[in-house]
Amino acid sequence: MIYFVMRSTFRNFATVMTCIRNIFRCWVLGVGVMMSGICFGQPEHPRLTGLPTVYIEVYYGHNVIKDLYRIARMWYVDEQDQVVFSDSLMMAGRGNSTWSFDKKPYKLKLKRPLAMIPGKPASRKWLLLANAADKTMLRNAVTSVAGEQTSLPFNPSYRFVDFVMNGEYQGTYQLTEAVEIGPGRVDITKQRIPPHADDDLSGGYLLEIDGTQDGNCFLTDVCHVPIRIHEPDEEDIEMSQQTYISGVVNEFERRLMSDDFADRLTGYRPLVDSLSLADWYICQELSGNVDAFHNAYFYKEREDGRPHWGPLWDFDIAYDNDSRVGDTRCELMVDVGFGAARQWALRFWEDPWFARLIQRRYCELLSQGIVEQMITAIDSLSLAIDESQQLNYGVWSISEQTYLERVLHTSYEEYVDDLKDYIVAHAQFLKEVFFSRSGERGAGSEDTPSNSPSRGRSGERGGGLVDVIGRRWTTKGKLPKGVYVADGQKWLKDEGPHP
């Protein structure tokens, strides 16, 4: 007993000392930033860790306010300690609930287009995501990796950076592309402003299911889903364009909710791009995104009557990181998610065609290694930002709830392990439940990827029960207490033999 008490005390003491050491290190770095070039002849803008460092000074000492652009100057220091960008820009706060956090997100508008991420087109608009509600700071990035494995054409690229504003270290941030119409982003036709009398008003449009009803929004006629029109911009859009695009969305919804919705000619199917719909939906379920039907982008190209789904965006409370719904390892987001558009998803599942589409496409993505790619990305990204995250959590608490975090730990590694465990377990659950809902039970005999946890050492498949970390169990003898999936249904097991 004395041993365990002493061990626990030592661990708590070690945790406190680690926090103190990180805080002291951040203070030293802050002093170093101010004193460099004065006393020691060091670069005026040193790189803080192995990541690039972004310095921003807001002119006139102004505070940064949400959606109100301030004049500022930015220095971008790359991995070779070179200042590759130094120029004035406009900076504003962004986000809805995330703007209320102490560690805040920002949007940048440069004077000229710049390729801030290697291999990506230059642009004037960039974002600095704080990822304050996600203790791993990786959920948005790993979702982009998942999207890259699908047909979705635009998945926001990113770089992790250390961010210093007005001489104060802010933490680890994710520099990423803004969602906008443009080359290399949502690459569809951008309408002229103002449109000419003979312009084709059928596209392009960038839209969002927006539960916050921010900006230029309208409610759909049947399900009252709030739809925001991002582009054309609220200040530029003409009434003819507003009428056209709201009509397109309402016609899709009318057909979806009609009695003959499943008819391949008169139902909703001619008005959806089936591949982008399937990939978008699978990514929402695979990530466990409870806000999938509360906030989601889609768009419409010119001369194409079908809305296309994506880009993927805003996943910081996905992957079992939302205390409002509890453990979602064995849940479908269509059953527990938030948002008026969930009515659309529930209706999709009433169509056997949609169920088969999702099951077949999910099998394809599994065989192509989508889960393994996500796990590999988490391993590499967590290693890349390790030094930076230590600085970050010297300023911000790693063990206190910022927003809706469901589980709290005292170490970064525990959060990363939880994220990986969730992806593996939830992916297996989805395989079972998609098979069940599709009615194509023969498809369930297909092999999973060779390193999937559903395979034993010999490569043979197990019995009909799967636990929450993907292990298969036979129905003979006693099963440990816990949650299992059988025939696509969740089953809670107390100690004792299977009935």
| Strand ranges of the sheet holding 472-473, from the earlier edge strand across to the other edge | 472-473, 465-467, 482-486, 489-493
What is the rounded average pLDDT of the residues 149-174?
97
Number of Cα atoms under 13 Å in the Cβ half of residue 418: 23
Please give the mean pLDDT across all residues of the chain.
86
Whole-number percent of the chain with pLDDT over 70: 80
Cα-trace Rg, the chain = 25
> What tens digit of pLDDT does each residue of 292-347 get?
999 999 999 999 999 999 999 999 999 999 999 999 999 999 999 999 999 999 99
> What tens digit of pLDDT does each residue of 18-53 get?
455 544 444 444 444 444 333 334 568 999 999 999
The answer to whether residues 248 and 327 touch, using CB atoms and an 8 Å cutoff, is no
pLDDT tier for residue 7 given thresholds of 50, 70 and 90: very low
> Within 10 Å of residue 302's Cβ, how many Cβ atoms?
15
DSSP string, 357-380: HHHHHHHHHHHTTHHHHHHHHHHH
Distance CA 337, CA 360 (A): 23
Q: Which pLDDT value is given to residue 479?
A: 62
Q: Evaluate if residue 229 carries a pLDDT over 60.
A: yes
Tokens, residue 59: 């002119």
pLDDT tier for residue 407 given thresholds of 50, 70 and 90: very high
Whole-number percent of the chain with pLDDT over 90: 76
pTM: 0.82
Classify strands 158-165 and 123-129 as parallel, antiparallel or unpaired.
unpaired
